[in-house]
Amino acid sequence: MSTTSSREAAYSFVERLARDLQDARFELPAFPEAVLRVQRALQSPSTSAADIVTILSSDPGLAAKVLRVANSAAFKPPSSEITDLRAAVSRLGFNIVRTIAMEYAMRQIRRRDTLSAAARAEIEAISSDSLHVAALCYVLARHYTRVNADQALLAGLLHGLGRLYVVMRAEEMAETDRIDIREIAAAWQASIGKAILESWGLPEALQHAVEHQDDRDLDPLDSAEIGESGVPADVVTLTNVLIAAKLLAAEGGQAARGGVPALAWLDRMKKDGAAAVLTDHAEEIRSIRASFGD
């Protein structure tokens, strides 16, 4: 493909994404029906655990995944093994169940025989990156903030949803090469991800976090004081947690050594610096990833 035709294809694709955003029309192809039903059900505040169990039971693979996570080292309290879905849903809660369903959907998508090699590789990367960021979000929220850790886990997994959408839409345009798609996905993933979450009726805190996931200059503690516990009250938000998790996942200690403002709040809490999270909680991070089969 010539440089000119490649640019034309990329421009045409960006125009399509812009129309999708304008029309708020987002369909993620190849999502398992049970996952979509879980998502739709959880939009309603009247949905019960029994409703979710009924949906999960329609997909043996998804049901088995929920049971496996519920009995994993990361989420299993010191009690007897769970063998039924109702108990699993009760133990995990709706946020974790939604996270499991989304991760399951990503795995199903990348198994499609019709995917190009480039798309498959990109979806593999999205899945791995999302799960790593999700584990970091969970650890950061649980140990260093008052943000709900289950919601943080979900935010971490969903932050790459816009990137996934771009890749799947690109599969409809065979003339668009992988380099273009990776660049376009990086530029559009936050805005598209936010729009998808909005169309799904997810909480504004999740939408805001995904929309601002790349704001490296955001430091919530510029004018705040840290209390005796080392955790500032109602200052560090879900957005701060997601940004920090992405930076640590992508750059590790390099981001901290570079004095990135978005990690300053964590640097103030960790005497050895933000990057120490990766070593201090390495086993917990590994355990969370392993619970999802990574």
Task: Confirm if 287 and 72 have CB atoms less than 8 A apart.
Answer: yes
Residue 238 lies in a domain: yes
Ramachandran area for residue 176 (φ above 0: left; ψ -120 to 50: alpha; else beta): beta
How many structural domains does the chain have? 1
Per-residue confidence (pLDDT) for residue 88, from 0 to 100: 92
Please tell me the chain's helix, strand, coil percentages from 3-state DSSP, rounded to the nearest 5: 65, 0, 35
Inter-CA distances, 186 with 19, 41, 155, 210, Å: 18, 30, 17, 13
Per-residue confidence (pLDDT) for residue 116, from 0 to 100: 82
Start-to-end CA span in the chain (Å): 36
What pLDDT tens digit does each residue of the chain (294 aa) get?
455 566 676 677 777 777 777 776 777 767 888 998 998 898 888 999 999 999 999 999 999 999 999 998 888 766 678 889 999 999 899 999 999 999 999 888 888 877 888 888 888 999 999 999 999 999 999 999 989 999 999 999 999 998 888 888 887 776 555 557 778 888 888 988 998 888 888 889 999 999 999 988 887 765 455 555 555 545 788 999 999 999 999 876 676 666 788 888 888 888 888 889 999 999 999 999 999 876
Residue 197 lies in a domain: yes
Residue pointed to by tokens 């003339």: 175
Residue 145 lies in a domain: yes
Residue 142 lies in a domain: yes
Per-residue confidence (pLDDT) for residue 73, from 0 to 100: 85
Residue 78 lies in a domain: no
Distance of alpha carbon 224 from alpha carbon 43, whole angstroms = 35
Question: Domain limits at 211?
Answer: 117-291
Q: What's at 238, amino acid-wise? A: L
39 membership: H or E segment, kind and range: helix 33-41
Per-residue confidence (pLDDT) for residue 104, from 0 to 100: 92
Half-sphere exposure of 152 (CA within 13 A, CB side): 29
Q: Report the residue count for the chain.
A: 294
Q: What's at 50, amino acid-wise? A: A
Residue 177 lies in a domain: yes
144 membership: H or E segment, kind and range: helix 117-144
CATH code: domain of residue 244:
1.10.3210.10
Residue 129 lies in a domain: yes
Residue 20 lies in a domain: no
In 3D, which of 12, 14, 54, 61 has the Cα closest to residue 37? Answer: 54
